[in-house]
Chains A and B, each alone.
Chain A
Amino acid sequence: MKIIHTADWQIGMRAESAGKMAERVREERLAAAQRVVQAARDHGAEMLLLAGDVFEDNAVDRLLVRKAGEILRRFPGPVYIIPGNHDPLSPGSVWEHPVWAEAGNITVCTRSEPIELETCVLFPCPLREKYSTKDPTSWINGRAAAKPAIGLAHGNVEGIPSGEPDYPIPRDTANRRGLDYLALGHWHSLARYEDPNGECRMAYSGTHETTGFGERDSGNAILVEITRRGGPPALTSIRTGGLDWRTVEHSVAQPCTLESLVQQLAEIAQPESTLVRMRLDGMLFPEDRGALRRLEELLATRFLFGALEAEGLKPAPDGEGWIESLPAGTFQDAARKLRALASQPSGTDQQATASQALLQLFDLHERSRE
């Protein structure tokens, strides 16, 4: 049997880091959902399992709920969903929306009890509140199942660094509970957990569409193939994400290195679906000021979203040429004072302000010579 395991769609999530493109980012999550369904169809999956957090919050716009329901409704096979900690099964939750009842193929699992299916037994673990220290899989006993036993849960696999235990799930839950596969949700990066035999019986599919900068190995779903009860499941990652979230961090130590970054940005394919966050620190050399401006321009114009964080750049200490290029007297004196302020340890407001002031001075100087 083939199953598509997906989770953490986080439909309706806020995307503060995307600036004005936040709405576009939100829309892309629905588009990615369509890609998941399409991938399931393409790979001949019999069943679609959503391991929680389909929605960012129970108070999301009901239109989004309708849209998500309609997307899943298009899948020809059954769809099983468990509420996660973001959209727990509580009064007023998204799961009370009529779209779930209207869609005949969708089952929102509201009880922690086995569901006997034609080809397998499903052990869903719906969450009813946002936080709990209880293992949501603790009730599962799949050893007696004659058919493949598949768990569907949402929580933190033990070992993942987090604060207080929040829906803790033991690393050996699949074996301990007699499951052939445990489909997990909660963490946004794809993660597999192999047992001592090297067989992977539990995994996080990660979010189907990357939610922000710095997220590793996200934007996927998992195709799970189980041939028989007890047999090793075959897991295949399927790319479903549509947006490319890139973080470029560069520390400038030598002159003329920013130009390579300009080149790097220019070479990024599909910039219209790429979000770039560039962080620069180190030294700002006089000869790099032009490149810095081009970087700003590229980030502002070429990509779906671009942000340049260059406050960490300090004027190069040996860049006397900067100052000597200014009119002698007052302006050179002022530039030296500003450079001294800008050379303070990074992170202080005064340092960033002084650096910016220097850049403004040189911009004005260039304009004065035009």
Chain B
Amino acid sequence: MILHNLRVTHWRSLLQPTEVGPFVEGLNVIHAPNGTGKSSLFEAMRRALFDAHLVTGKEIEAVRPWGRSLAPQVMVEFSQGCVRYRIEKVFLDSPSARLSRLEDGEFVPLADGRNADSELREILAARDTPGRGLSKQEHWGLAQVLWAPQGALSLSFVSSSVSENLRAALGVQLTGESGTRLEELLEEQYLSLFTRSGKPRAGKDAAPILAMESQLAEMAMERHELLAQQQSFEEAAGAVEDARQRRAQARREADALREPLGQTRKLAESFQRLQSDLQQKRQTEQTAKERHESIGRTIELIADARREAAGLKAQIERDEALLGELAAELKTASARADERRRQREEARSRRASLSQRTAEVEDARAFLADTKARQALAARLEKLQQLQTGFTAERQSRAVLVAPDDRAIRDVRKHLAARGKAEAALQASLIRLTVRPHRAATATRKSPEETRAISAGEAATFAGSPEVSIEIEGFGSIHAAGPEMDVDALRGEMAEADRKLAKLTQPYGTQDPDRLQLVRDQAKELDQKIEVLERQIGELLGDDTTEELQGDLAELDARILERTGRFPAWKDQPPALSVLQSALEEQRKAIETAVVQAEDAFDEAQAGAQGVEKRHTETAAALKGARLALEAADRRRSDFTRDGLSDHDRQTARQEASMAWEAARAQAEECKRKLEEIGDDPQKSLDKMELQLRALEAAEAAARDDEKKAEGRLQSLAAAGAYSKLSACEERLADLTGRIRREKLRMDALRLLHDTVASCKAAAVAAVAAPVERTASRMLERVAGPRLGPVRLTGEFVPAGIEPKALGEAVELDNLSGGEQEQLFLITRLALGQVLAQNERQLVVLDDVLNATDTGRLARLLTLLEESAGALQIVILTCHPERYRALEAAAFFNLQP
């Protein structure tokens, strides 16, 4: 696109019609001070080219000149594809649009209203319409890269539509016109089956395979159910077959069982009959046996009774003789035992003498102990008496000694010092008058009156206060006066000290502190002695008192006296305890030995007597028992023989019973043999077989029931024709599976084709982007030197960064200075513009850019702009025209009137 003329009216600050142009195909600089409407001019051009004339809203309202009800108007003349157009639009009030084309030197209307809007977008290849609002950058077609509004030079964000437009523009070069059509067809085909993210289309225009797969899932369910039905049919057939087999088997087994069952039943009957016979025979046998045994037993009992009676009689005779002998022996033994008892008691009586001797030994031990205790106690009391005597003496001494305590001595010393001090002060305050007459004289003092004879040459001193007046006989009076002092107070102090001293020392008879201290030391010494004695007495007494000790002594004396009364010899000679104890032990041993011997002898005699007595008792009892047994045996014999039979008769009867028993036993054995031939009771087998037969009959009946049920189910399933349905279902399934496979192949192939073409195209685009990168890199190096390195663009043609050679790795744009960033973005736009201008010159608009670029780099950029102007029309809007004056070929347009 090439811009020729631009006219704007009622647009923001451009109140009056403002026309700029005609522009040259190379460099154009529109300049004016701030606020005069440069950017409004650029904005008006964008609105004219890319916005619908009917657009409403706050944004377009803001375009209206402030405070005026004027409709913004704009006219743009431009060329596109070697055709010159004019677009005229009025916004807001009576909005209108008219697109004209230059034909034969005149602009001829081409479209108006909405048609003008859409036709214009078509001409400018701005396919993305803005909708109801104002257009944004993404609606500007290629201008979004080539036109840089004020403050928007950067290319940090590019919308997808921008990149698509760029790709579309580059795609023409990649595939050519026919390739574009093919690409469109491919895209159309692809989007008919897939979403742009590559998923099969769903919803209203869903890919056919989705419906097929859904159908397949339903059919798979149907097949599953039919297969189950088919299996049920086969299982039911199997169940019928099984039931038939079971029924037949049960019937066969029952038939097979019936014959042996009959035989067993007969055998069981025989067995029961034989068992009954055997029972009767055994009873007969038992009866015969019992009779035989009864007769035999009677014979034996009679014989036993006879033998027993004979034996008992002999025993009675022996016991009677023995009883007489034992009575005599018992008498002798009793007498011997009595003698031995007497001897034992005698021996035991000797133990009394032993206790007397033992008491004597105990007395001797006690006597000796008491004597020893008394001696110790007496010594203790003596010592105690000594100590108490000393204690009493010291206490008396201490009682008579009046001694001050340490405090009193300290007070005496204090008062003495006070008194001395007062006295010294008094002496110092007195007026001293010393008289030494040449000859003897008498001096009289009036107050206090004093007369003193003074020898010749003798000095006599009179002291007083406040004056001293004496009268010397023969001489006259002498008056001496001095300074007036408070002598009375000093005297009072002395008197007070004397009073206190007198009070303190009155008990002691002296005011000499040293003497008082001596008395005090004496008293202390006495106190210490008393304390020692008191402690010794306490230790000696312990817990006792002197009275208690004296009581103990008296008790000991009494006990000693009592024992010496009983044993007078001990007064002179204390007893020898060991001698007494030895004698006692010897005596005790002799007595105990005699007692043991006597007791043993008694026990022996006593045991002998008791043994004889026991035998006698036993013999008597035995005799009595024998007599009773004899009576019983006689009674039994008479009972057994009461039938009156003879022994012979009884033997005969026994033989007859024996023969009957043998006969009965033989019959029972025969019966038993027959039973043994049969073996175990057949009734058990019979019971089991009958149970088995009933079970088999029940099994047959159950199998018949099962068979009927299964047959009913089978007929129902057979009537359903499950296999035919399953076949039809599987045929449809196979057909559908085949169609899905083919459709999937078709889709996979289309996806593969689409993706392959896309990847090839991406590679081609990348290859195209490379020259753009190279161009931009060269430009940047020319402007900023080699330090920044090559420029790197993203796949969306957005500058991603640079690769300084010194670093060897990419650096993001944020690391560049503001000036370098704007230089890089301008260079990128110029490089892209050069690529896009290969087929047709393109318009580049730069609104107030390069404000952060220094003068040196600006000069180099201007050179680049001049070079780029060979392929691009460049329109620069600035408030600093002087910066661009170096552009010699540029056309300058001053907006300022």
Binding site for B on A (CB under 8 A): 12-20, 22-23, 26, 56-64, 90-93, 96, 311, 326-331, 333-334, 337-338, 341, 349, 352-361, 364-365, 367-369
Contact = CB atoms under 8 A, between A and B. Distances in A.
B735 interface: yes
Nearest to A352: B745
B144 to A, nearest CB: 24
B756 A56 contact: no
B176 interface: yes
B178 A369 contact: yes
B185 A60 contact: no
B771 to A, nearest CB: 15
Given A333-B764, A337-B760, A357-B750, A92 B179 contact: no
Given A16-B731, A60-B724, A327-B179, A354 B752 contact: yes
Contacts, number: 164
A12 B728 CA distance: 9
Nearest to A356: B749
Given A331-B757, A338-B756, A364 B189 contact: yes
B733 to A, nearest CB: 8
A23 B728 contact: yes
B723 A62 contact: no
Contacts of A59: 230, 233-234, 717-718, 720-724, 726
Interface string B616-642: 000000000000000000000000000
Given A20-B735, A330-B760, A368 B181 contact: yes
Contacts of A90: 237, 241
A326 B719 CA distance: 62
A12 B727 contact: yes
Given A353-B748, A357-B749, A361-B753, A329 B764 contact: yes
Contact of B745 (A13, A62, A93, A353): A353
Given A26-B727, A330-B175, A360-B749, 4 more contacts: A16-B730, A60-B723, A92-B233, A92-B717
Interface stretch (B203-211, B708-716, B888-896): B708-716
B207 to A, nearest CB: 15
A23 B185 CA distance: 40
A93 B63 CA distance: 93
B757 A334 contact: yes
Where chain A touches its partner, the secondary structure class is helix
A326 B181 CA distance: 12
Given A352-B745, A368-B178, A369-B178, A15 B237 contact: no
Given A59-B717, A91-B714, A327 B753 contact: no
B674 interface: no
B631 to A, nearest CB: 100
B177 to A, nearest CB: 8
B377 interface: no
Contact of A333 (B236, B715, B752, B763): B763
A58 B244 CA distance: 19
B735 A19 contact: yes
Nearest to A20: B735
B126 interface: no
30 contacts: A14-B728, A16-B731, A19-B734, A59-B717, A59-B726, A60-B723, A62-B719, A90-B237, A91-B240, A92-B714, A92-B715, A93-B237, A327-B176, A331-B179, A331-B183, A331-B757, A334-B756, A337-B760, A338-B752, A338-B753, A338-B756, A341-B752, A353-B748, A353-B749, A353-B752, A355-B749, A360-B746, A360-B749, A364-B182, A368-B184
B186 A364 contact: yes
Nearest to B725: A61
A101 B745 CA distance: 53
B7 interface: no
B738 interface: yes
Interface in B642-669: none
B354 interface: no
Contacts of B244: 91
Contact of A12 (B181, B186, B719, B724): B724
B182 A327 contact: yes
B237 A92 contact: yes
A311 B722 contact: no
Listed from nearest, the 4 A-B pairs whose CB atoms lie closest are A61-B721, A14-B727, A91-B240, A327-B179
Contacts of B241: 90-91
B233 A311 contact: no
B734 A16 contact: yes
B753 A63 contact: no
A146 B343 CA distance: 146
Contacts of A361: 186, 753
B209 to A, nearest CB: 14
A58 B724 contact: no
B174 interface: yes
B721 A364 contact: no
Contacts of A60: 721, 723-724
B175 A331 contact: yes
B185 A367 contact: yes
A305 to B, nearest CB: 10
B761 interface: yes
Contacts of A26: 727
B779 to A, nearest CB: 27
A26 B184 CA distance: 47
Contact of A58 (B179, B233, B761): B233
A96 B233 CA distance: 14
Nearest to A25: B731
